[in-house]
């Protein structure tokens, strides 16, 4: 489907439910930036299937997994692997498939039974023109007790593949591969034709092609009419141009001969390609029915001429349906999303086509949570529009033979017919329940892709989570996987909500760390800033944080706190890293400041409160101190000198590295001579910034630390005082007190001058 055609699959049903999906634009590369994976499950996957165990295997044997890697070794190759569970999941077989073309980058699996799979590699939906595809058969075989992967055939298709499924076309018990090709239009863009190719499962050669005028929407494969063999119940728009008024509706296409039966014209919305996908339910007698969203309500339809049977009136979107193995034959369970919340019901379908609805249970938005409800609605809308399947589960979780119903935001455990609050499962999907180490273990897929133009990130859709009769619409988003106890899904009432913080600085290379529990994904929007600019301090709501518009040079990225091999997610605190250094403003050669917004989602699909902040590149070296004691042992004795730096830094002494504890403390062990000598220290922090410092140390008593100025001053004062005392001690006798010395002269006192006669005074008397 070309981009304009894909746009036809809009949220028309979401609008009918009053769901407004805001679209913010955050251009730029959307790339995950995790640290090196610690577990094979942490390597991004494009698809995954559970390989049925070999005949005769114990029920406690953990089945192998078939994985299609998200990151190919070469652009024109697809790598498939077999993983086997020991203490952790290990790769035991690898096969690289040559595709011949490098632009066939939309890749997915379809299981064809008997450990046989079809790999579809096709032009993406955004590629212009008709596109092209190649289909390769892959079979799992056991040779000498070891599994191997063998190609079983291939076909080249001259148009892109947009839908595919496995169908027993002839009713003989052997599934074939059915492909829905991209519609082809004439030069005016009208009167398009959609082709259904049916390929032989043994060699993937094309057996038959069915031409349909117009465009096909979402569908489901099952036995909807009395003739043996599977059919495709699908929305169809045969008018010219496609999607026109009047003849759109639901049809049943018999895959063995192309016969078309229309189901009640006018009962479906006019824009049929935008209808939510139908869900298959078994009827009594080996026939199937489908749950669909019609104009007047959620209803049950088939291809046998029965009128649609309404399950619930009013707008609603079915999200999961299946047989209730704990009830009598013909029993089924169903869940749907509506304006007023989530609902579930039990159905009983009779052989005559009759239907009985019972045990309706509801959970309103206020019970789900005011903050969670918009996310659940938006996430479900994105899942259905992008991939045609909601993130939901109906099957045995905690114990065999006791099916549990799990939908975004709610769970209806086996036993009491009552919905209660459950995990949100936003951008996350429950895949399968496997026996691992003697207990029932749930495999959970965590989506690692996000397009802010579409809003809340979609949940992954690997083949392991395929609903019955899946008419698969395109590839899954890339994902990683985790394990958890299946009982936790049922028994938990309050699921942990992730939290995160933004570090204010990065390393010199622009790398920053983000803390969180294992399995937490960080959906990050980064806005490069100028040196004197600060990022936004306004914290958006949880839903708006995924779609809030930003400037044209903003970038969206995803980072994940990895789960160690064999561990369950959410058990331990850890951190992940994210590189900001390559995110620059338009025309800038480098950037040292970024405005960052982070929304955390854990592997329960719970969404944390968004956080915002400004991050600055760290270009300052760490602090570095060394004690210089007043006294030290003298050579040849050893001296311990205590120092301190920033925690996490590495310290070296004259080029030799020494140990630093978690608080940044270290000890320099050396021998000191009794004179000044320099010790050169170097410290490098986690950001790569380095500080150097020289410290001068003296062995013995460090005479340089004496207060010499004070000592000199005191010495001089002492000398002056001592000389004064000695001078006073040399005077003979005492002295006579006078008014001058006693200070008793009055104010008029003046000295008297005695007049002497001439020749008196100091003149000497001469002797004759």
d(Cα 232, Cα 254) in Å, to the nearest integer?
Answer: 7
Tally helices (H) and strands (E) across the chain. Answer: 7, 48
Question: Residue 745: what pLDDT?
Answer: 46
Contact predicate 440/485, CB 8 Å: yes
Residue recorded with tokens 């914290």: 539
Phi-psi region of 305 (alpha: psi -120 to 50; beta: other; left: phi over 0): left
Strand partners, 657: 652
Residue 96 phi/psi, 5-degree rounding, is -95, 125
Phi-psi region of 575 (alpha: psi -120 to 50; beta: other; left: phi over 0): beta
Count of domains forming the chain: 1
Residue 104 phi/psi, 5-degree rounding, is -90, 70
Segment of 353-357, 430-434, 511-515 carrying the highest mean pLDDT: 430-434
Does residue 694 belong to any structural domain of this protein? yes
Contact predicate 347/356, CB 8 Å: yes
Residue recorded with tokens 């990683």: 480
d(Cα 378, Cα 401) in Å, to the nearest integer?
Answer: 33
Question: Residue 362: what pLDDT?
Answer: 95
Does residue 658 belong to any structural domain of this protein? yes
> Among 308-312, 532-536, 754-758, which stretch is predicted with the lowest mean pLDDT?
754-758
> Among 5-9, 364-368, 603-607, 750-754, which stretch is predicted with the lowest mean pLDDT?
5-9
Tens digits of per-residue pLDDT, 148-203? 999 999 999 999 999 999 999 999 889 999 999 998 876 665 667 889 999 999 99
Question: Residue 656: what pLDDT?
Answer: 86
d(Cα 569, Cα 573) in Å, to the nearest integer?
Answer: 10
DSSP letter (8 states) at residue 687 = T
Helix (H) or strand (E) holding 154: strand 146-157
Q: Would the CA dihedral through 509, 557, 482, 513 be positive or negative?
A: positive
Residue 93 phi/psi, 5-degree rounding, is -155, 145
Written as six digits, the tokens of 587 are 């025309």
Q: In this model, does residue 21 exceed pLDDT 50?
A: no
Question: Residue 566: what pLDDT?
Answer: 83
Cα–Cα nearest to 457, from 385, 403, 358, 362: 385
- Strands 133-143 and 116-122, by their bridges, are antiparallel
10 Å CB burial of residue 636 (0-12, 13-18, 19+) is exposed
d(Cα 219, Cα 288) in Å, to the nearest integer?
Answer: 13
Contact predicate 157/171, CB 8 Å: no
Q: Would the CA dihedral through 270, 273, 277, 278 be positive or negative?
A: positive
Question: Residue 676: what pLDDT?
Answer: 84
> Among 263-272, 327-336, 569-578, 747-756, which stretch is predicted with the lowest mean pLDDT?
747-756
Give CA torsion, residues 444, 447, 448, 451, to 10 deg.
Answer: -170
Q: Within 13 Å, how many C-alpha atoms sit on residue 635's CB side?
A: 10
Q: In this model, does residue 736 exceed pLDDT 70?
A: no
Q: Write out the DSSP string of 2-24.
A: -HHHHHHS-SHHHHHTT------
Cα first-last separation, the chain:
156
d(Cα 407, Cα 409) in Å, to the nearest integer?
Answer: 6
Question: Residue 520: what pLDDT?
Answer: 96
d(Cα 220, Cα 470) in Å, to the nearest integer?
Answer: 6
CATH number at 666 reads 2.60.40.10
Neighbours of 370 (CB within 10 A): 8
Question: Residue 2: what pLDDT?
Answer: 41
Does residue 576 belong to any structural domain of this protein? no
Cα–Cα nearest to 320, from 450, 411, 444, 256: 411
Contact predicate 703/678, CB 8 Å: no
Tens digits of per-residue pLDDT, 581-622? 888 887 777 788 899 999 999 999 999 999 999 998 877 778
For residue 305, give the 3-state DSSP assignment: coil
Residue 604 phi/psi, 5-degree rounding, is -95, 0
d(Cα 377, Cα 16) in Å, to the nearest integer?
Answer: 13
Mean pLDDT of all residues belonging to the chain: 83
Question: What is the percent of the chain with per-residue pLDDT over 90, rounded to a whole number?
Answer: 43
- Per-residue confidence at 400, pLDDT binned at 50, 70, 90? confident
Contact predicate 488/602, CB 8 Å: no
Does residue 692 belong to any structural domain of this protein? yes
d(Cα 230, Cα 224) in Å, to the nearest integer?
Answer: 7
- Per-residue confidence at 730, pLDDT binned at 50, 70, 90? low
Question: Residue 186: what pLDDT?
Answer: 65
The reported pTM is 0.80
Does residue 614 belong to any structural domain of this protein? no
3-state secondary structure 532-575: CCCCCCCCCCCCHHHCCCCCCCCEEEEEECCCCCCCECCCCEEE
Q: What is the biggest distance separating any 2 CA atoms in the chain, rounded to whole angstroms?
A: 181
d(Cα 86, Cα 213) in Å, to the nearest integer?
Answer: 52
Cα–Cα nearest to 163, from 216, 103, 118: 216
Does residue 315 belong to any structural domain of this protein? no
Question: Residue 5: what pLDDT?
Answer: 40
Q: Write out the DSSP string of 109-137.
A: EEE-STTEEEEEEE--TTS-SS--EEEEE
- What is the domain range of residue 636? 624-705
Does residue 669 belong to any structural domain of this protein? yes
Q: Would you call the peptide bond into 83 cis, given omega within 30 degrees of 0 as the criterion?
A: no
Residue recorded with tokens 């690997």: 462
Residue 83 phi/psi, 5-degree rounding, is -105, 140
Does residue 661 belong to any structural domain of this protein? yes
């Amino acid at each position: 489907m070309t981009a304009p055609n894909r746009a036809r699959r809009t949220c028309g049903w979401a609008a009918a439910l009053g769901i407004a999906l805001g679209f913010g634009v955050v251009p730029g590369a959307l790339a995950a930036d995790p640290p090196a994976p610690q577990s094979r499950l942490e390597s991004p996957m494009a698809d995954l299937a559970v390989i049925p165990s070999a005949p005769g295997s114990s029920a406690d044997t953990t089945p192998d997994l078939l994985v299609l890697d998200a990151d190919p070794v070469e652009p024109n190759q697809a790598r498939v692997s077999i993983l086997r569970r020991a203490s952790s999941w290990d790769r035991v077989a690898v096969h690289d498939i040559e595709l011949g073309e490098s632009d066939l980058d939309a890749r997915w699996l379809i299981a064809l039974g008997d450990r046989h799979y079809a790999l579809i590699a096709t032009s993406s939906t955004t590629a212009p023109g008709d596109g092209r595809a190649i289909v390769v058969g892959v079979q799992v075989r056991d040779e000498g007790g070891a599994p191997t992967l063998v190609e079983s055939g291939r076909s080249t298709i001259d148009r892109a593949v947009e839908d595919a499924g496995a169908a027993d076309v002839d009713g003989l018990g052997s599934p074939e591969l059915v492909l829905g090709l991209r519609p082809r239009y004439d030069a005016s863009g009208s009167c398009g034709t959609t082709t259904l190719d049916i390929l032989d499962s043994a060699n993937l050669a094309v057996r038959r092609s069915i031409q349909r005028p117009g465009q096909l929407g979402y569908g489901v494969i099952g036995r909807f009419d009395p003739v043996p063999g599977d059919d495709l119940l699908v929305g169809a728009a045969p008018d010219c141009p496609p999607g026109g008024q009047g003849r759109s509706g639901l049809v049943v296409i018999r895959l063995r001969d192309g016969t078309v039966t229309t189901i009640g014209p006018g009962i479906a919305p006019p824009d049929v390609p935008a209808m939510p996908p139908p869900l298959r339910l078994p009827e009594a007698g080996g026939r199937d029915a489908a749950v669909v969203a019609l104009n007047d309500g959620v209803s049950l339809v088939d291809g046998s001429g029965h009128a649609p049977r309404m399950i619930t009136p009013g707008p609603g979107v079915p999200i999961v349906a299946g047989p209730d193995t704990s009830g009598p034959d013909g029993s089924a369970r169903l869940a749907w999303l509506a304006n007023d919340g989530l609902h579930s019901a039990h159905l009983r379908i009779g052989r005559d086509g009759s239907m009985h609805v019972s045990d309706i249970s509801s959970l309103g938005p206020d019970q789900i949570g005011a903050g969670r409800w918009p996310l659940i609605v938006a996430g479900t809308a994105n899942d259905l529009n992008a991939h045609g399947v909601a993130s939901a589960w109906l099957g045995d979780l905690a114990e065999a033979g006791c099916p549990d119903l799990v939908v975004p935001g709610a769970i209806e455990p086996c036993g009491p017919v009552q919905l209660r609050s459950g995990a949100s499962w936003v951008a996350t999907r429950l895949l399968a329940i496997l026996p691992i180490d003697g207990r029932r273990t749930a495999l959970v897929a965590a989506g690692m892709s996000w397009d802010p133009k579409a809003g809340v990130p979609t949940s992954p859709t690997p083949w392991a989570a395929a609903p019955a009769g899946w008419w698969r619409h395109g590839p899954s988003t890339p994902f990683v996987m985790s394990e958890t106890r299946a009982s936790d899904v049922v028994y938990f009432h309050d699921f942990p909500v992730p939290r995160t913080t933004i570090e204010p600085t990065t390393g010199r290379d622009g790398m920053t760390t983000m803390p969180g529990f294992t399995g937490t994904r960080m959906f990050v929007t980064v806005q490069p800033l100028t040196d004197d600019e600060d990022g936004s301090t306004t914290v958006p709501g949880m839903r708006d944080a995924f779609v809030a518009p930003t400037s044209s040079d903003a970038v969206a990225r995803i980072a994940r706190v990895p789960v160690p091999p064999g561990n369950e997610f959410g058990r331990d605190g850890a951190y992940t890293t994210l590189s900001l250094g390559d995110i620059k403003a338009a025309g800038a050669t480098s950037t040292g400041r970024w405005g960052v917004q982070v929304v955390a989602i854990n592997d329960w699909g719970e969404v944390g409160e968004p956080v915002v902040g400004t991050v600055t590149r760290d270009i300052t070296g760490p602090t570095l101190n060394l004690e210089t004691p007043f006294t030290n042992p003298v050579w040849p004795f050893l001296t311990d000198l205590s120092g301190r730096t920033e925690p996490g830094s590495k310290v070296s002494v004259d080029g030799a590295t020494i140990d630093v504890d978690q608080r940044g403390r270290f000890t320099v062990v050396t021998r000191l001579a009794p004179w000044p000598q320099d010790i050169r220290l170097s410290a490098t922090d986690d950001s790569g910034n380095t500080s150097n410092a020289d410290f001068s140390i003296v062995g013995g008593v460090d005479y340089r630390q004496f207060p010499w100025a004070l000592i000199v001053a005191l010495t001089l004062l002492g000398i002056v005082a001592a000389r004064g005392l000695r001078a006073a001690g040399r005077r003979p006798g005492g002295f006579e007190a006078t008014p001058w010395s006693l200070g008793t002269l009055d104010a008029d006192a003046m000295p008297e001058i005695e007049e002497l006669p001439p020749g008196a005074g100091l003149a000497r008397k001469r002797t004759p």
